[in-house]
Amino acid sequence: MKATRPGHLPPPSPDHGQGRVCAVPGCATRLSRYNPKRNCWLHTEITFPNYRGKRLAPGKA
Ligand SMILES: [Zn+2]
């Protein structure tokens, strides 16, 4: 799927722009233009430390 046609409108695909980098200060990891996230995979992982399929404390959810 190419997008090299000289048109005005971009293709209706989840394009978030080129040249984006991780939103974490100091992190220059590039993000894919199709990646809806604002952080790189590394910092995205630490954003949800409690979501590993486990419960930290039963009854304290
Ligand atoms: Zn990052």
More confident residue, 46 or 24: 24
Which residues crowd ion ligand 1, with CB under 5 Å? 22, 24, 27, 29, 40, 43
Ligand 1 midpoint to CA 19 (Å): 14
Ligand 1 midpoint to CA 36 (Å): 14
Q: 25 near 5, Cβ under 8 Å?
A: no
Ligand 1 midpoint to CA 55 (Å): 26
Contacts with 1 (C-beta within 8 Å, 6 or more apart), sequence order: 11, 13
- pTM summary value: 0.49
Ligand 1 midpoint to CA 49 (Å): 15
pLDDT-derived band at 45, boundaries 50, 70, 90: low
44 class by beta-carbon count within 10 Å (0-12 exposed, 13-18 middle, 19+ buried): middle
* pLDDT per position as a tens digit, 17-44: 889 999 999 999 999 988 888 999 888 8
